[in-house]
Amino acid sequence: MSRIAEAFDHGKAFVGFVTGGDPSLEKTREFVLAMAEAGCDLIEIGVPFSDPIAEGPVIQEANLRALAAGTTVDALFGLVADLRGVDSLEAPLVFLTYLNPVYHYGYEAFFTRAAQVGLDGIIIPDLPFEEQGELKPVARAHGVDVISLIAPTSDERARAIAEDADGFVYLVSSMGVTGVRAEIKTDLAAIAARIKAATTVPVAVGFGIHSPEQAAEIAKTCDGVIVGSAIVKIVAEHSAAAAPHIAAYVREMKDAIRF
């Protein structure tokens, strides 16, 4: 069983996100380990990019801070290799990146390196399902899951996406960019049921979730809950001193989805 499958094999999974290199690689390492120790089942590491079109202001600003700090794809591969050398870290590690850095690196070179360092998966928000043809076979050949997103408007395409899914399905809770939302009105239960009818791959919901109450309600309909902006906001507020605040938040959110 892959590490991603194992992340969803012990009840509802909590998936947390941090922007790699914000405020530094050393601190990202500290944050990832703190998240894992606090109960994060799977950790997404954002690869900073100059034009992150799916992100709201919180993560956009984190991208700019990380780029200003000199964060590169190779540096983040090095971070993953370092983290995989920590015996206590069992959580799968996934890159969230836009297509440009992967294309520029070269698909074969990128996924060869990803496999070498122990990266478990990749999420590429600006790569449509219909255009995964060149990239996905290379990733699969190297044992790296390409995690597909399904939006609330993906009705006709949802089955095809789900049937070809690897790792887990990322169900987007709401239209628009990332960022905390006071209310999520999408009928996630109905969408998740349609996805589950087409695949045995776990379904996790992300975009906008930030409170324990939201997490608990959404977890009733799916296999996991994804939180990004709320964690990145903690980093923005506390910078190098954010680790204990992140850990406390992760514990609270994880406790909320224990059924």
206 in any annotated domain? no
70 in any annotated domain? yes
64 in any annotated domain? yes
> pLDDT tens across 181-232, in order?
444 556 788 889 999 999 999 999 998 899 999 999 999 999 999 999 999 9
Mean pLDDT, residues 52-64 taken together:
86
Written as six digits, the tokens of 123 are 């999420």
More confident residue, 180 or 200: 200
Q: At 64, which helix (H) or strand (E)?
A: helix 57-68
Give the distance from CA 258 to its chain's centroid.
20
228 in any annotated domain? yes
Mean pLDDT, residues 156-171 taken together:
93
According to DSSP, the β-strands at 169-172 and 149-150 are: parallel
**pLDDT for 104 beyond 80:** yes
Cα–Cα distance between 122 and 107 in angstroms, integer? Answer: 12
Q: At 94, which helix (H) or strand (E)?
A: strand 93-96
> pLDDT tens across 247-256, in order?
999 999 999 9
Written as six digits, the tokens of 254 are 């994880």
**pLDDT for 177 beyond 70:** no
How much is the pLDDT for 1? 60
227 in any annotated domain? yes
Q: How many domains does the chain have?
A: 1
Range(s) of the domain holding residue 35: 3-143+212-256
205 in any annotated domain? no
Mean pLDDT, residues 61-71 taken together:
96
CATH of the domain at 237: 3.20.20.70
How much is the pLDDT for 180? 46
pTM: 0.94
81 in any annotated domain? yes
For the chain, give the mean pLDDT: 92
> pLDDT tens across 24-56, in order?
999 999 999 999 999 999 999 999 998 877 777
Position 179 confidence tier, pLDDT thresholds 50, 70, 90: very low
251 in any annotated domain? yes
* Maximal C-alpha separation, the chain: 46
**pLDDT for 16 beyond 80:** yes
* HEC-encoded secondary structure of 163-213: HCCCCCEEEECCCCCCCCCCCCCCCHHHHHHHHHCCCCCCEEEECCCCCHH
Cα–Cα distance between 105 and 123 in angstroms, integer? Answer: 16
Q: How far is CA 89 from CA 7, 34, 50, 144, 204, in A?
A: 12, 10, 30, 18, 21
Least confident of 62-71, 151-160, 236-245: 151-160
Cα–Cα distance between 47 and 28 in angstroms, integer? Answer: 12
Task: Specify the amino acid at residue 89.
Answer: L
Position 174 confidence tier, pLDDT thresholds 50, 70, 90: low
